[in-house]
Chains A and B, each alone.
Chain A
Amino acid sequence: MYHFIVFAPLVGFLLAGLFGKTLGKTGSQLVTSGLLVFSAILSMFAFYDVVANGNVQTIAVADWVTSGSLNFDWGFKIDTLTAVMLVVVTLISALVHIYSIGYMAHDPDNPRFFAYLSLFTFAMLMLVTADNLVQMYFGWEGVGLASYLLIGFWYKRPSANAAAIKAFIVNRVGDFGFGLGLFAIFMVFGTVYLDPIFAAAPGQAGMTFNFLGYSVDILTTICIMLFIGAMGKSAQLGLHTWLPDAMEGPTPVSALIHAATMVTAGVFLVVRMSPLFEQAPIALMMVTIVGAATAIFTATIGLVQNDIKRVIAYSTCSQLGYMFFAAGLSAYGAAMFHLFTHAFFKALLFLGAGAVIHAVADEQDMRKMGGLKSMIPKTYILMIIGTISLTGFPLTAGYFSKDMIIEVAYASHGAVANFAWWAGISVALMTSFYSWRVIFMTFHGKPRAPKEVMAHVHDSPNVMIVPLIVLATGAILAGWFFSGSFVGDGYDRFWNGSIFLIGQNILEEAHHIPWGDILGKWLPTIMMAAGFGIAYLFYCRGGDLPAKTARAFKPVYNLFYNKWYFDEIYDFLFVRPAFFIGRVFWKIGDGLIIDGLGPDGISAVVVRLAGRVRKIQTGFIYHYAFAMLIGVAALVTYFMFFRGGI
């Protein structure tokens, strides 16, 4: 069963990729989508089998590498954590495949698109099922590749190509950290397999080793390096710059890869490695701080962006920040729960945004939308559902998971947890504001699109709407339905040891916050309502309140609008110097110094020789060969002579 779940997308990729022309558009769509639907159905059975029957197992698949004491093979580790990811990945992927049949209908490159989608799914499944870290790295880089290919899918656009490369390289910076963590783990534990590492982790707690000449705590160092990998993949502060640009890819890609699945791989990694992180409190603190800071920072940018997809992209960064600080506070269940619900409502929002873009002739700038409410009512309602879930409207999925995280921060002690709580609360306000801003700017008010565009605005075909309805159902019900298992009373039975904890489960304490505690229980909801109110005031009452505010806080507005100038700073610090130094090394290092000082004397001779050779160039290869032969003969003679001389 697991073989089929994981390899069906690979088969789909190979079929659509190699025989795309023969299969044609419809053929490729059906093959890849069909295989994924099967994969998704089987994943649900698998989920049931693991959660209800407790059927936790490891499955060996095939040999990979053995070198001395280092060994890693292909295999699956199936536990609750994997099962949750299997369901998320295959379900969202299947829905996105189906949705894309409608969304990409007019694109000439359908087989390629569907092949890439399936390739991505395969790599993601290899990542979440890995029983050793090298296979996880395989999936990790594999999803990076698929992301690169899909961001650059419309390869004629220079901006798409630039975004694709940026995504790959920024991710590689993160992978650099992952890789070093991996090498360190092998050196310390003598294996790259998860189970033995977890078993040996407590023995390494508090021990030190030499890293770059310093004596440092082993597990803290390893965890920080792994977390750098997670930061790259999950677009956390510092390594986040690729994600907004990644919106150059087709919208279904943004939904699948850059919202629901791939970007959550970093969270998955931290949760998966909880037996290590739990032994490394400093690393956990770092996870919390980075997560909370990312949540605030990217939310501020989201406030002022005008591209509908970019707002949602920044929102994704911000929500990932929530997941990380939950994990950092040892509330791994809450992190996974938010990952789970987020997959539904964020995929819904992205695909809904896709339906909007589809309706207004590929326009993404919200300033050129407005007034679409009555023209695409189905999309409108679905987007509203996504929004209330994201902002945490009571009893929706987002309410359960996000408020849980904020309550965890409230219940935790210490300055870091305090910071996380403040971040969580302020981000709740900002999230609500920018989400409703999207709704109001897109659907309400007067139409700002040209007349001829407005004339063609229509709701999407059913093949796109039905997946949205499935996601909307999840966005409303997933929280209520699964909250008990992920973070509630069923926690221990549900996770069944796949998440490791030291000491008191912080989720327990969070549950004990009394309903009378306004700050702890009600503030997130109040913030949600406030955000809605401000957005309404700004964007529904007409008037020029937004413009006035922007003018009044011009420096701040500019800072947010220009994304805190991260791209410019990186360009200045890394990109330009790299090219500049490259040129200097090439022209001066190689050209002037090495060739100049070294073989330049010789080189002058060469030129003279070359001149002479040109004169005596007879045009017969034999002459050259003869000259060379004499050289060798001389050598041999010398050798024999020398030998005889002894």
Chain B
Amino acid sequence: MADFPILSVLLLIPILGALIILPIRSAEETGNRNIRQVALLTTLATLIISMLLLGNFNNSLAGFQFVEFYPWFGGDTGFHLGVDGISILFVLLTAFLMPFCILASWKSIQVRVKEYMIAFLLLETLMIGVFTSLDLFLFYIFFEGGLIPMFLIIGVWGGARRVYASFKFFLFTLLGSVFMLIAILYMYAQVGTTNIPVMMAYDFLPEAQTWLWLGFFASFAVKLPMWPVHTWLPDAHVEAPTAGSVILAGILLKLGGYGFLRFSLPMFPIASSELAVIIFGLSLIAIVYTSLVALAQEDMKKLIAYSSVAHMGFVTIGIFVVNTQGIEGAIFQMLSHGIVSAALFLIVGVVYDRLHTREIARYGGLVNNMPRYAVVFMIFTLAAVGLPGTSGFVGEVLVLFGAYQASTWLAVIAATGVVLGATYMLYLYRRICFGPLDKPDLLNLKDLDKREFLIFAPLVAVVIWMGIYPSFFLDVMHASVAELIANYEAALGGIAAVGQ
């Protein structure tokens, strides 16, 4: 197993799937069916390989494992892959969510099925690439490359205002990326390599760190998104097809958090510690502000989109308090949010497929004729509000434990998000599911069918599993997080010593 290039295989399978799909004629229904099946099988194969990856992963090691290196431009810049206890979980998250995207698009996507599936498969390769790259240049290509299929998914298969939304999405993220690119170029000039492990060990000058940190911050803050560069997200979600929203919320938003962990903290520790206060301020605003905005929403997807911003506020707080609970909580929160928000968008998709509206006021009393739907919706609502026993609790509470140690203000204000979160989610649930079923066009809505039920069952299982036995995932990250913190503190300590 040790010599088997499992990460390359992981990257290649979706591309292979896309190549198989390419010649299939998508004009007829049989062709479309074949395309869907190939896409599903491809994503399932990727999932299985990524589980094998986790199975062979050594939890007790802090460094990168399954490292592969193929020289590209000469020197040690090249096709350099590897995973540690942090990135492997995101690989798994990506591979886990993809089959749901394919299944969710089974019936709702009827035009350009081939192109759609190819876009998703390429997106999978690119996302896995982001999390496995050990080369900064490679990372950047994957990171920005992911924009393209996502842009297309929104722009081609989206709703009425899809063009506006996709351009807004594109401009925001590209704008952030420009700064990151400049930072990357500077770093390359400084270190002489784009090898990430080498760069992590390099001590950048404190003055340079600030600028580099800000450069990366610009990109990651947009991706997460942090307040105030979050306004692209609600539009993008609203216009994206269901599966697009799933990937957007489930994986793309995690790129920012992952970036902070992989680059900002280890490479610019001094800047991180000095500028953390910016992060805290923006995160707290995000939590309170977007929670209140979510309360006022009339569109289901927008509400969930705003709630994502609030949840990501917890993530950024957890990362930048730089203690074990904070960072592990942030990672866990990202995994949990990846699944819960993905599930919530799928839940919106279920009724959207039936009624073609996301307007909350058009619904009400669905529990009467869609009881199974109501149960599933309730479970994910509870996970979203961080009820103990669901995955949402573990992440949130760990972050708050960590935040309290850094600053009581931080914890107190962030904890208001727990109250506000319950308010907007339960209010949403009440307006959609509870009450009498008296709107005429709702009377004939059918409950979850077998395919939909099969989509939700594993998601429910994972959310509860993560809530009751989170150790499975926490154990994977312990060693890498411990090393991250140790290096961070050593770097700060070193500077303090020089200062004296």
- The interface residues of chain B lying within 8 Å CB-to-CB of A67 are 324-325, 328-329, 398, 401, 474, 478
Q: Could you give, for residues 126-148 of chain B, a 1 whenever the CB lies within 8 Å of some chain A CB and a 0 otherwise?
A: 00000000000100010011001
Interface residues of B in 289-331 (CB under 8 A from A): 289-290, 292-297, 323-325, 328-329
Contact B325 A68 (CB under 8 A): yes
Stretch at the interface among B46-54, B150-158, B197-205, B261-269: B150-158
A579–B168 Cα distance when bound, in Å, is 27
Residue A128, interface by CB 8 Å: no
When A156-B435, A156-B436, A614-B163 are in contact, do A176 and B416 touch as well, CB less than 8 Å? Answer: yes
- The interface residues of chain A lying within 8 Å CB-to-CB of B409 are 212-213
Contact A180 B411 (CB under 8 A): yes
A400–B401 Cα distance when bound, in Å, is 43
A146–B272 Cα distance when bound, in Å, is 43
Chain A: minimal CB distance from B357 (Å): 20
Interface residues of B in 212-248 (CB under 8 A from A): 228-229, 231, 234
Contact B419 A176 (CB under 8 A): yes
Residue B183, interface by CB 8 Å: no
When A621-B156, A632-B144 are in contact, do A586 and B387 touch as well, CB less than 8 Å? Answer: no
- The interface residues of chain A lying within 8 Å CB-to-CB of B430 are 161, 164-165
With both beta carbons as reference points, the residue of chain B lying nearest to A212 in the complex is identified as B408
Stretch at the interface among A339-347, A517-525, A553-561, A588-596: A588-596
A161–B367 Cα distance when bound, in Å, is 13
Contact B435 A610 (CB under 8 A): no
Q: Of A65, A184, A582, A629, which is within 8 A of B296 by CB?
A: A582
Q: Of A137, A145, A603, which is within 8 A of B382 by CB?
A: A145
Chain B: minimal CB distance from A634 (Å): 12
With both beta carbons as reference points, the residue of chain A lying nearest to B422 in the complex is identified as A172
Residue A314, interface by CB 8 Å: no
- The interface residues of chain A lying within 8 Å CB-to-CB of B426 are 148, 165, 168-169
With both beta carbons as reference points, the residue of chain B lying nearest to A72 in the complex is identified as B397
- The interface residues of chain A lying within 8 Å CB-to-CB of B188 are 643
Q: Of A176, A210, A583, which is within 8 A of B418 by CB?
A: A176
Contact B164 A590 (CB under 8 A): no
- The interface residues of chain B lying within 8 Å CB-to-CB of A602 are 171
Chain B: minimal CB distance from A162 (Å): 8
A358–B314 Cα distance when bound, in Å, is 49
Residue A639, interface by CB 8 Å: yes
- The interface residues of chain A lying within 8 Å CB-to-CB of B280 are none
Contact B397 A134 (CB under 8 A): yes
Contact B228 A613 (CB under 8 A): no
Q: Could you give, for residues 179-219 of chain B, a 1 whenever the CB lies within 8 Å of some chain A CB and a 0 otherwise?
A: 00100010011000000000000000000000000000000
- The interface residues of chain A lying within 8 Å CB-to-CB of B73 are 640, 643
Chain A: minimal CB distance from B379 (Å): 11
Chain A: minimal CB distance from B39 (Å): 16
- The interface residues of chain B lying within 8 Å CB-to-CB of A589 are 289, 293
Interface residues of A in 37-79 (CB under 8 A from B): 62-70
Contact B228 A176 (CB under 8 A): no
Residue A211, interface by CB 8 Å: yes
Count of residues in B whose CB is under 8 Å from the partner chain = 81
Contact B164 A70 (CB under 8 A): no
Count of residues in A whose CB is under 8 Å from the partner chain = 73
Interface residues of A in 179-205 (CB under 8 A from B): 179-180, 183-184, 186-187
Contact A68 B164 (CB under 8 A): no
What does DSSP make chain B's interface, helix, strand, loop or mixed? helix
Contact A579 B295 (CB under 8 A): yes
Q: How many CB-defined contacts (below 8 Å) exist between A and B?
A: 188
Contact B185 A66 (CB under 8 A): no
Residue A642, interface by CB 8 Å: yes
With both beta carbons as reference points, the residue of chain B lying nearest to A603 in the complex is identified as B168
Chain A: minimal CB distance from B173 (Å): 12
Q: Could you give, for residues 82-116 of chain B, a 1 whenever the CB lies within 8 Å of some chain A CB and a 0 otherwise?
A: 00000000000000000000000000000010010
Q: Of A156, A211, A578, A621, which is within 8 A of B368 by CB?
A: A156
A69–B478 Cα distance when bound, in Å, is 11
When A67-B398, A583-B296 are in contact, do A625 and B418 touch as well, CB less than 8 Å? Answer: no
When A65-B394, A176-B415, A624-B156 are in contact, do A161 and B435 touch as well, CB less than 8 Å? Answer: yes
Residue B18, interface by CB 8 Å: no
Chain B: minimal CB distance from A448 (Å): 30
Stretch at the interface among B63-71, B336-344, B464-472: B464-472
Residue A395, interface by CB 8 Å: no
A582–B293 Cα distance when bound, in Å, is 4
Contact A632 B145 (CB under 8 A): yes
Contact B295 A211 (CB under 8 A): no
Find the residue from A68, A142, A172 having the highest chain B CB count within 10 A: A68
With both beta carbons as reference points, the residue of chain B lying nearest to A591 in the complex is identified as B231
A138–B145 Cα distance when bound, in Å, is 42
Chain A: minimal CB distance from B419 (Å): 5
Q: Could you give, for residues 603-615 of chain A, a 1 whenever the CB lies within 8 Å of some chain B CB and a 0 otherwise?
A: 1001101100110
Q: Of A65, A180, A603, A613, which is within 8 A of B412 by CB?
A: A180
- The interface residues of chain A lying within 8 Å CB-to-CB of B137 are 639
When A68-B324, A169-B422, A169-B423 are in contact, do A183 and B398 touch as well, CB less than 8 Å? Answer: no
Contact A180 B295 (CB under 8 A): no
Residue A248, interface by CB 8 Å: no
A472–B117 Cα distance when bound, in Å, is 68
Q: Of A65, A152, A161, A621, which is within 8 A of B470 by CB?
A: A65
When A63-B471, A175-B418 are in contact, do A636 and B328 touch as well, CB less than 8 Å? Answer: no
A639–B181 Cα distance when bound, in Å, is 10
Contact A65 B418 (CB under 8 A): no
- The interface residues of chain A lying within 8 Å CB-to-CB of B289 are 585, 589
- The interface residues of chain B lying within 8 Å CB-to-CB of A502 are none
When A586-B293, A590-B231, A599-B171 are in contact, do A64 and B418 touch as well, CB less than 8 Å? Answer: no
Contact A168 B155 (CB under 8 A): no
Contact B419 A64 (CB under 8 A): no
Q: Of A141, A172, A175, A606, which is within 8 A of B167 by CB?
A: A606
Q: Of B151, B292, B293, B398, which is within 8 A of A628 by CB?
A: B151
A384–B173 Cα distance when bound, in Å, is 71
- The interface residues of chain A lying within 8 Å CB-to-CB of B367 are 155
When A156-B365, A646-B189 are in contact, do A625 and B324 touch as well, CB less than 8 Å? Answer: no
Residue A581, interface by CB 8 Å: yes
- The interface residues of chain A lying within 8 Å CB-to-CB of B159 are none
Chain A: minimal CB distance from B178 (Å): 11
Contact B324 A183 (CB under 8 A): no
Contact B171 A70 (CB under 8 A): no
Chain B: minimal CB distance from A137 (Å): 6
Chain A: minimal CB distance from B409 (Å): 6
- The interface residues of chain A lying within 8 Å CB-to-CB of B478 are 66-67
Residue B389, interface by CB 8 Å: yes
Chain A: minimal CB distance from B305 (Å): 11
Residue B404, interface by CB 8 Å: yes
Chain B: minimal CB distance from A599 (Å): 7
When A70-B401, A583-B296, A599-B168 are in contact, do A613 and B419 touch as well, CB less than 8 Å? Answer: no
Chain A: minimal CB distance from B228 (Å): 5
A-to-B contact residues, CB < 8 Å: 62-70, 134, 137-138, 141-142, 145, 148, 152, 155-156, 158, 161, 164-165, 168-169, 172-173, 175-176, 179-180, 183-184, 186-187, 210-213, 578-579, 581-583, 585-586, 589-590, 594-595, 598-599, 602-603, 606-607, 609-610, 613-614, 621, 624-625, 628-629, 632, 635-636, 639-640, 642-643, 646
Between A and B, 20 residue pairs with Cβ closer than 8 Å are A62-B469, A63-B469, A65-B474, A68-B323, A70-B398, A142-B388, A142-B389, A155-B434, A161-B430, A164-B430, A179-B400, A186-B401, A211-B408, A212-B409, A583-B296, A585-B293, A599-B168, A610-B167, A614-B163, A632-B144
Nearest 9 Cβ contacts at the A-B interface: A68-B324, A582-B296, A183-B404, A138-B388, A582-B292, A582-B295, A628-B148, A586-B293, A621-B115
Q: List 14 additional contacts besides A180-B404, A610-B167; criterion CB under 8 Å.
A: A134-B388, A145-B387, A161-B430, A175-B418, A184-B408, A213-B409, A585-B296, A586-B293, A590-B234, A606-B171, A614-B163, A628-B148, A635-B144, A643-B73
